[in-house]
Structure 1
Amino acid sequence: MHAKETLFADLMQGRAQQFQVPLYQRTYAWTEKHLKQLWSDILEQARLLGSPGENGSTHFLGSVVLAPSPQNDATFPRWLIVDGQQRLTTLSLALAAIRDHVADTAPVEAQRIGEQYLINKWKSGNDHLRLLPTQADRQQFAAHIRGPRTDLDTDSGVATAYAFFRKKLVEADDPAAPQDVYRIEQAITSRLALVAVTAERGDNVHRIFESLNNTGLKLSQADLLRNYLFMKLQARGEHVYETYWLPLQRSLSNDELEQLMWLQLVLDGDDRVRRQDLYAAQQRHFENTKAGDAEIEAYIKELHRRSAHFRRLLHPEEEPDPGVRAALRRLDAWQAAVTYPALMLLLDRRERGELDSAGTARALAYIESFLVRRMICRVPTNNLNRIFQAVPGQLPLDVPVTEGLHRLLSSENRFWPDDAELREKIRTAPFYQYGRWQQRKLVLQRLEESYGHPEPVDFAAAQLTVEHVMPQSPGDEWLRALDEETDEGETAEELHARFQHTLGNLTLTAVNAELSNHPFERKQGLLRGSHLEMNRRIAATERWGVREILARADELADRAIALWPAPLRGVGRAERNRDWQLAHQVLAALPHGTWTSYGDLAAFLGSGAQAVGNHLANTPGVVNAYRVLTSEGKVSDGFRWAAPQDAGSDDVRARLAADGVRFTATGAADPAQRLTADDLAALLAGTDDDRADGEDTAQDGTAGAPGEETRAERFFRQLAADDSPETVEAVRVLFAHWESLGGWIGHGAGHVTTSAYLMLGGAGGPGRGIWPMTLYPGAGRGGTAEVVFQYMAAREPFTDRALRAELLARLNALDGVDIPEGKLELRPNIRLSLLEKDRNQELLIETLTWFRDRWEGRASS
């Protein structure tokens, strides 16, 4: 028996061999949580590979315990994987995804990847696979390694992992932060370190497995560094601890202290260090410089000094200058922790006398503008940490600090949108679907403040939410008015989808929901009486349609351009490329058994359906391009493959059927499997969007000030305004049963759109527990129960897709419910009126009891 550090490439490539997962092993079980962490580590290693002169440390992935297989022979070594099959299976699927990602453009490279890591070229049958999973996973894994991938089991974790990597590789093509796919391959194969423990016949491999997995409570990076510092300090340890460290520790939590330590490293020039490597990096610095007591005391003293700056980022009210304080408050509301290296630099330069408060406020305005303009123009945020970590080291030295920051952020590779791009996106982009809720609200708040009303609204006290003037669920009167403005070949519904979420159609309001979907004339009275200037201006118009939305968008664009400074020079008109990249990402994320339309994709992008069709027809390599159909669910007459297809694979309907798309008797794709523009936005939002922990954060709805309507009362009032008394009573019965199961009813904070969560776990918000459904009053269309599969996927035990699939099957047993499997990644709705049927109510209560039992049994499973 021996152990050695190795790499995936060293383990897998070379002579023909096979790694076998024993039949007694559990099936592949990594969830999206594990996959996201691995992908983050892979990208970090790929970045290190792309940094000249900087290799950094490899990432330790874990151990692999191997033993000779009983089927082993001298010409074809076979190994049993006693431990580590999850890692090896995941890395193999990631490489299969890379192979398929480059297959159209670089077939020779695709073949190389397959032969080096995935297959034994001259072997057949099971021996063809370099990794042979347990029998339960074998068919699915082989389908992804060999192809073609038809009739796949979408409940398979293998299929889910492969789809995850295909989607992430499309995202990696983002022009705002491009990642070289071959560098990603190299990171997987040669930058992820493994410890391979190889046993001889007769060794107790299970004892090895137990010892490798015997872990205790880990110390934080701050704990490790503190212990190191005071172990090194000799004579002055007590003095330094009492004078600097103890006040520092009292003013910051352990997590905040760790963040400050990391920021100090970044500010001192180590802009590549990861927070999880803080201890090793700082220890290496001290060892390399042979630091003694004086140097370590100076480090702690400097940490103490900078803690006052850091606290102002966390608590802006501690900043004495009003201009700087207001800017810090806005960045705090934006949740802009990613900007902390630049903010700490500015506060440090001000304390050193290199910058006054006016200059600091102006520099903060550039940072705010950089964030806001990128958010409005939908520039991805995935490279923001690198941009701001690099500020201390890249700030120009030949100009004052404020001008230097303006110049640095204006560089073309920073993607700070210019005035022309900002104006276009305010007119066309679905603002409501991007960024977080507090960011959208802050943009509208700043725009309202720009009017300079003599009696400004107290936004801190006002319970304002974002409201659509043209409603999200338009009635017939709205659609008839829109029909007058449609272009040839466009429906009123498609026009509505294109403009409903644009900034010109959004405002802030505290009005009640029962009028939210009524015709514009009914809204005018409410808006006219608003304290907000923007609402009074909307009310002054005679009608509300596309022309008015665009006119208001132009007015808001003028104000946005004045509010948020532009970059020093134009950053190029690359936004269209970014929009197409967004299209590629969302198409790669389409779940099995779903399709979308040209109009839906256009509305999601803020584009036109014809432009979408032209792009897909002329761009090779777009994943799932054939799943974009007409609004009737038909293959477009103008559809053509953008690149030559494999023999026999050019039948679009056959490809759709293989992807789980059903067809009606008329030959159209099943409309129940269609993903709307809102569904597409939810796909990319993932599990961390507004309803998870934001505007609608669940709280007990029974408490309230004396004489004030409680959240629970508001919910039922709004529900009764739209649904029958029988439906309202059925919901009350459902809530009572849920509480008898040990759950509680949380209610959202929204006034215009209120909500009710069926919660399990600690009170205080969905992030602290789990909830299977969120109920919404109908606002003109009938109340609904939203089944939150998307959020369950990040919460145990429902990270297991098979459990979510069972929940789907149980819900589909209700009469009138038919949720397609493709929406298992989303948040499909059930009409609350269905609960008027006694049998449906019984089945739903049984389902919720099953859900509760699975959740309570998670700890022992």
Structure 2
Amino acid sequence: MEARETTFERLIQGDNQFQVPLYQRTYSWDVDDHQRLWDDLVEQATFGSDATQAPSGHFLGSLVLDPRPPMPDTVQRWVVIDGQQRLTTLMLLACALRDHVRTFDKTKADLIHRRYLINEEDYGGLDAYRLLPTQADRPSYLACVDNDPRAGGDDSIGVAYRFFLAALAEYDPVGEWETVRQIDQALRHRLTLVTITAGPQDNAFRIFESLNNTGKPLSQADLLRNYVFMQLPRLGEHVYDKIWLPLQTELGPDRLTTLAWLDLVLQGQSRVTISEVYQGQQRRMGRIAAASDEEGLRDDLARLRRLGHLLMRVFEPQREPDVELRTVLRRLLQWGGEAHYPPALHVLDRVDRGTVEPGEAVEALTFVESFLVRRMICREPSHSVRQILATLPSGIERDRSLPEAVHRYLSGLRRGWPRDEDLREAIRTQPFYWQGSSRHRSYVLRRFEEDYMAPEPVDFSRAWATIEHVLPQRPGQEWLAMLAEDTEAGERAEELHEALVHTLGNLTLTGENTRLSNHPYERKQQIFDQSALRMNREIAAAERWGRKEILSRADRLADRAVRMWPGPVAGDGGQSGERSEWLRLRKVLAALPSGRWTTYKDLAAVTGVGSPQTVGSYLASRTDVPNAHRVLRADGTSSPDFAWLDGRTETQREALEREGVRFNGAAADPEQKLTAEGLADLAGLDRPRETEEEAATASEGTVTDRAENFSKLLSTHHPDLAEGLLTLLRKWETDGGRLGYGAAEETSCSPVLREGSGSQGSIWPVNIYPRSGVVEVVFAHLARREPFTRPALLAELRDRIRAIPGVTLTVPDAELPRRRPSFPLGVLRGGGLVRFAETLEWFRQQSL
């Protein structure tokens, strides 16, 4: 390869044509890119034409060119392997410069046109143009060059052209050549590039594969397109126009990558990730190309085009012509996520090929919906769902009908499809309000309302509704007096409230959340009676709202749930033996390490058992539950009812101290406590509280209520600490972060950075619990987020927090990715808050 430095004018002089090949992505520079180029150009324009008084010009970057063999009586053609974004932008800037000058000097405008945009010789057809973008961009670009009325449309080409027109109008508002001449001189002489020319032995495909444009990495779809068209020298133009361009236009780059991933999954590669799509498809298409001519690869791309058209029905169910199939696709879309993509596309493919009837497809996908919903209601861990459904297309039995095959596959051992009895019990007892995502919780309640079959159903796509607790989260004396009538022997009203308040029987949807608030039941009853939702009117028909009414409604909802979401094949699926929440409790306690402790309340939250009292009763009656002595009351003290069931004589405290738990008076050290979130991370379960991402999308009123509650709880601490910490958190927001508030009974606060998903998702260093008076350092969360996947950064964060006076984090490096230790909130008073603020600023710098 040969490299040389040049200017824009020297690059384009002579009869040359720069061709952007089919495999290049379309023009993608945005306004920020245009602004940077324009700022650089204006800066160079200030030096004028006297190059002796100016520093060296501005370096734009490189162009990698592959010369085509010269042909007589035609232009010299160059294939642009890399750099088409900047070259296209410069040409569009030249178009805008010409059209601006034309408003006051047509002769100069014609000179600019011939200097930059077209070849001097009178070549016919496309040979006249100095740049030919890829086919998708070509009409918009040629409209700009030809001064066509359609120039400056809404696509990326048009946006760039209009940006430079506006910038020139602002730079030269009067219309004087001497002013705009400075821009022309800078464009011609002061923007430099390095051209890298490929030699005869260089492989253009390999060069393109390893490069990127202006720091924008090549996507999996970019690389795949590159590979495909390098294999189609003869049929490339036809395949691009008839197959690839329509596919790319319909799906867009991100969905095109998703299609390529799904194609591999449907062919049995269920563990392939999005980042491995290019390699997987390259191997697959390479085998096709080796076994046949270009027609074989063309036919395979036509198959992908058909699958892409079907995939759009998954993304946009209104495209599906069958009404019932459209409905179930819409429900899966409303549920959200990507887990259902493989079974949905597999089913649509079989319908399209005529091997399955639409009615069978509806039944099969209803099983998929039920699998997702039942698992969420019963708090089955969600981490395995994606893999289970990705394996479905290749794992179902082919000698059975599609609905039966899907039903049997999802009912398989250890796939966790809850049985009817598990579903009924969960609806009665599980804290549904803390389960799944806010989107999933709302979906379940919307489906219940739709099942009432109202003559004039509410259109939830237009109506704004949030989840309402009928029995409020913070009950007044009237509510507690009503609950006291329902308590059993030895049970307090507050305990009954905690067991019932977050269950499905007590939850509904309403647009009147603010009006309902914590009002007595009689006032809520009046509002519900006027509701457009049938399930709210049913609530209003009850004379009171206590244990009996909540459980009765839960049973009615369970009847609907069992009918709407069918269960697994009898005898094949679901759980066996002990209830799933008890199995989770055993798993959590088995993972609880020596030297740590937790509470009955945290165990109830993470396992979904129902209440701390239920956990206590279970542990008190079983000799086979590991580490039960590591469970204490909420204040860190031993329960007066604790007793060893194996005859040991030492006290619970003595056993914990022997294992390394420190005590301050009668209470265990809060630094060694594991909260519900920490237990979930330790045991690999879903976290019981609303995630920070959901907190960010909560309604403004909800976030405001949580912020106010957090401030109220924090005000119980020393004024210096409360005011100082609130000031620090406000500064976090001012500096571009945001505050996430937990939805559990104790409103926590987390200083959050970034938006995204996976390892690039939202990130926060601590959770602040004002009622418990502790700050939880979430090493286990950070270990899954960049850049803290690097052990050295986790260790440095620990050391910085440990430097705060009064903090003693003794977690070894190897344990950090699994731990969420806490320290007392009170140590942040005074100088400790300064150290804490420095640590947060360091965290911000590392994370952005």
Q: Is the structural similarity TM-score above 0.5?
A: yes
Q: 1:639 aligns with which of 632, 639, 644?
A: 644
Q: Distance in 2 between matches of 1:529 and 1:392?
A: 47
Residue pair 2:671, 2:823 contacting (<8 A) in 1 also: no
Q: After the TM superposition, which of the residue ranges 554-563 and 247-256 deviates more from structure 2? A: 247-256
User: How far 1:305 moved relative to its partner?
Assistant: 0.9
CA deviation string 1:268-314 (max 9, x = no partner): 34456555554554455456664222322221111111001112222
Conservation of the 8 A alpha-carbon contact between 1:498 and 1:602: no
Distance 1:455 1:846, change over 3 A: farther
Describe the shift of the 1:536–1:807 C-alpha distance in structure 2 as closer, same or farther (beyond 3 A): farther
Contact 2:609 2:615 in 1 (8 A): no
CA distance in 2, matches of 1:275, 1:769: 20
Q: In the alignment, what sits opposite 1:585? A: 587
- How do residues 700-719 of structure 1 correspond to structure 2 at under 5 angstroms? none
1:788 to 1:363, Cα distance in 2 relative to 1, 3 A: same
CA distance in 2 between partners of 1:516 and 1:561 (Å): 31
Question: CA contact under 8 A between 1:597 and 1:629: conserved in structure 2?
Answer: yes
Paired position in structure 1 for 2:505? 504
C-alpha separation in 2, matches of 1:740 and 1:263: 40
CA deviations over 1:577-616 (Å, ceiling 9, x no partner)? 5333311333355477642345653563326336632675
Q: Measure, in 1, the Cα distance between the counterparts of 2:417 and 2:348.
A: 23
Q: Name 2:576's counterpart in structure 1.
A: 574
Structure 2 gap segments, 5+ residues each: 1-209
Q: Tell me the distance in 1 between the aligned counterparts of 2:604 and 2:846.
A: 44
Aligned pair in 2 of structure 1 residues 509, 639: CA closer, same or farther (>3 Å)?
Answer: farther
* SS of corresponding position for 1:435: coil
- Which letter does structure 1 place at the counterpart of 2:727? L
CA distance in 1, matches of 2:830, 2:759: 24
Report the CA distance shift for 1:308/1:270 in structure 2 as closer, same or farther (over 3 A).
Answer: same
Secondary structure of residue in 1 paired with 2:544 = coil
Distance verdict in 2 for CA 1:260–1:460, change over 3 Å? same
1:458 is aligned to 459
One-letter identity of the residue aligned with 1:856: Q
Q: Secondary structure at the match of 1:690?
A: coil
Aligned to 1:402: 403
How do residues 662-681 of structure 1 correspond to structure 2 at under 5 angstroms? 662-666=662-666, 669=668
Which of 631, 653, 661 is residue 628 of structure 1 equivalent to?
Answer: 631
Q: CA deviation at 1:739?
A: 6.7
The alpha-carbon deviation at position 627 of structure 1 amounts to 1.0
Instruction: Describe the superposition over 1:542-575 as per-residue Cα deviations: whole angstroms up to 9, x where unpaired.
Output: 3333222211110100111221123343436527
Query: What CA deviation, in whole Å up to 9, does each residue of 1:222-276 have, x standing for no partner?
Result: 4554444333334212322232123323333444323322322332344565555
Matched, 1:251 2:250: yes
1:605 to 601, 605, 608: 608
Matches of 2:733 and 2:276 in 1, distance apart? 47
Superposition pairs of residues 776-815 of structure 1, within 5 angstroms: 794-795=784-785, 800-802=793-795, 805=798
**What is the number of residues matched between the two proteins?**
617
Report Cα offsets for 1:712-741 as digits up to 9, x if no partner: 9878888999999999x9699838961796
The answer to whether the 8 A contact 2:689-2:742 is kept is no
User: How far did residue 453 of structure 1 move?
Assistant: 2.5
Say yes or no: does 1:352 pair with 2:353.
yes
Maintained 8 Å contact 2:632/2:639: yes
> Following TM superposition, by how much is the alpha carbon of 1:364 offset from its aligned partner in structure 2, in angstroms?
2.0
Contact 1:432-1:503 within 8 A present in 2 as well:
yes
Give distance in 2, aligned partners of 1:408 and 1:435: 24
Q: Work out which of the residue numbers 727, 733, 740 in structure 2 matches 1:734.
A: 727
The residue aligned with 2:564 is 563
Deviation, structure 1 residue 375: 1.8
1:298-313 to 2 correspondence within 5 Å? 298-313=299-314
Alpha-carbon distance in structure 2 between the residues aligned to 1:525 and 1:850: 52
Equivalent residues in 2 for 1:523-534, closer than 5 Å: 523-534=524-535
Match of 2:656 in 1: 656
Q: Which residue of 1 aligns with 2:342?
A: 341
**Counterpart for residue 840 of structure 2:** 851
In the alignment, the residues of structure 2 paired with residue 732 and residue 274 of structure 1 have an alpha-carbon distance, to the nearest angstrom, of 42
Provide the TM-score with structure 1 as the length reference: 0.59
Shift of the 387–757 alpha-carbon distance from structure 1 to 2, 3 Å rule, reads: closer
User: What is the root-mean-square deviation of aligned Cα atoms in Å?
Assistant: 5.2
Partner of 2:597: 595
Alignment correspondent of 1:618: 624
Residue of structure 2 in register with 1:158 after alignment: none
- Deviations along 1:423-443, one digit per CA (max 9) or x if unpaired, are 122112232333222111101
Q: Tell me, what secondary structure is at the counterpart of 1:566?
A: coil
Whether the 8 Å CA contact 1:600–1:677 is kept in 2: the answer is yes
Q: 1:674 to 1:245 in 2, by over 3 A?
A: same
Does the 8 Å CA contact 2:692/2:762 hold for their aligned counterparts? no
C-alpha distance in 1, partners of 2:675/2:520? 24
Shift of 1:361: 2.6
TM-score w.r.t. length of structure 2: 0.60
SS of 1:507's equivalent in the other structure is strand
What is the CA–CA distance in structure 1 between the aligned matches of 2:843 and 2:254, rounded to whole Å? Answer: 33
Which residue number in structure 2 is paired with residue 743 of structure 1? 736
The equivalent residue for 1:431 is 432
SS at match of 2:542: coil
- Contact kept in structure 2, 1:697 and 1:749, CA below 8 Å: no
Distance 1:262 1:512, change over 3 A: closer
State the shift of 1:493 in Å: 4.4
Answer 1 or 2: higher relative contact order, Cα 8 Å, separation at least 6.
1
Residue ranges of structure 1 left out of the alignment (5+ in a row): 1-213, 702-709
**Within 5 A, what are the aligned runs for 1:324-403?**
324-403=325-404
Kindly tell me: are residues 441 and 630 of structure 1, through their superposed partners in 2, closer, same or farther at Cα, counting changes over 3 Å?
Answer: same
State whether residues 601 and 609 of structure 1, in contact with CA within 8 Å, keep that contact through their aligned partners in structure 2.
Answer: yes
Q: Is the 8 A contact 1:436 1:689 kept in 2?
A: no
- Give the Å deviation of 1:386: 3.9
Match of 1:32 in 2: none
User: Do the aligned residues in 2 keep the contact of 1:514 with 1:718 (CA within 8 Å)?
Assistant: no
1:547 alignment partner AA: K
Residue 691, structure 1, aligned to residue 684, structure 2? no
CA contact (8 A) 1:789 1:825 kept: yes
Shift of 1:500: 2.9
SS at match of 1:574: coil
Distance 1:820 1:495 in 2: 39
In 2 relative to 1, CA 765–550 (structure 1 residues): closer, same or farther, beyond 3 Å?
A: same
Match of 1:445 in 2: 446
Amino acid at match of 1:429: Q
**Is the contact between residue 753 and residue 764 of structure 2 (CA under 8 Å) also seen in structure 1?**
yes
Paired residues for 1:157-556 under 5 Å: 221-271=220-270, 273=272, 276-285=275-284, 290-292=290-292, 293-474=294-475, 478-479=479-480, 481-488=482-489, 490-512=491-513, 516-517=517-518, 519-556=520-557
**CA deviation string 1:620-645 (max 9, x = no partner):** xx4x4431246752486542469xx9
SS at the partner of 1:467?
strand
Once the 2 structures are TM-superposed, how far is the Cα of residue 352 of structure 1 from its aligned partner? 1.8
SS of the residue aligned with 2:468? strand
What is the one-letter code of the residue matched to 2:417?
W
Q: Is the 8 A contact 1:507 1:534 kept in 2?
A: yes
* Structure 1 pair 303–377 and aligned structure 2 pair: CA distance change class (3 A): same
